[in-house]
Amino acid sequence: MGMNNRLSLLLGVALVFQSPAQTNPPSTMDWADLLGAVQEWAEENLDEDLLAALSEPDEQQVREFFEHFQRQLGEENVLDLAALSQAARGVLPLLEAREETRPYAAWLRARLDYLDTAEELRRAMPAPPTAPGRPAPPATNPPPALERQVWSKRLANRPVPPAAKTLVPRLKAIFQQEHVPPELIWLAEVESGFDRRARSPAGAAGLFQLMPATAQRYGLRRWPLDQRYQVEPSARAAAQHLRSLHARFKDWPLALAAYNAGEGRVGGLLGRHKARDFDGLAPYLPAETQMYVPKVEATLLRREGVPLRKLPAPGSG
């Protein structure tokens, strides 16, 4: 069913219940049940597949790339990401060419850094020793200290994204209201490049790339307008989520690892590997998270001159 037909059906449902011909109008509880059912239906059916706007060959190329890219982001080997750089740069123009797929383009553009930095790290890492007559062992992951060094060098001369110039004061005010260090608003540069349209193939959306479950947890609506794409609601939810994660992990690098990889996953890995901090946990985290936390650290140093570990704990409000 096309978008217009679905919208017509949705409007028809509403009109039926608003019709003056109704002799027994629904009670308040009936209206709540109705609106809940309509919202659930809309979220399941009105989220059109944005990639369908592409031609069939382009759509297939993008889908295959996204599947491969997301799988590699979830694996542990950071250096394997380097091999995806050429494919990513082939897919990006396809996504940027159509209005419908530009949200995906914004998400991908913010992650090209991971691929380029993985290549720099690959060149910087010494080759593992090889025994005569045996295949070379897989390369080990770069230590977080090396990643911080490479990220700091990469971001040293990067200009502020144009959209940040107007958004930063608004975002900082919201984070301060939520008693979260305002410097952390620069997560929006890492997550979306300050492009509020950004959307991931996994369903994260907006400046702070909130997943649907996270949005629901902090009271954001997804229908009829998805508040993850709105500046104030999304920033407030992101700040509240960061505050909650710090309350659990008592440490900003671990809180950010949980923001990226999920608090259940980070909590489980900490217990399993008896790690006490991000550096001890990093080898067991997804490749994206291993890159994400050092990139946030380098971004804060570049934009605010503040080390992540020096940020204060959230206030109680």
| Residues linked to residue 210 through DSSP beta bridges, in sequence order | 205
- Residue 228 CB burial class (10 angstroms; 0-12, 13-18, ≥19): buried
Active site residue 43: no
Residue 143 makes CB contacts below 8 A (sequence gap 6+) with 279, 282
CA dist 298 and 163 (Å) reads 20
- Residue 270 CB burial class (10 angstroms; 0-12, 13-18, ≥19): buried
Distances 74 to 78, 200, 223, 246, 308 between C-alpha atoms, Å: 10, 14, 29, 23, 24
CA dist 248 and 306 (Å) reads 23
Distances 40 to 4, 34, 205 between C-alpha atoms, Å: 18, 10, 18
- Residue 61 CB burial class (10 angstroms; 0-12, 13-18, ≥19): middle
> Which letter does DSSP use for residue 60 in this model?
H
CA dist 242 and 314 (Å) reads 9
Beta-carbon neighbour count of residue 28 at 10 Å? 7
Q: Which of 120, 147, 178, 191 is catalytic?
A: 191
Q: Let me know: does 231 contact 196? Beta carbons within 8 Å.
A: yes
CA dist 213 and 226 (Å) reads 13
Catalytic sites, residue numbers: 191
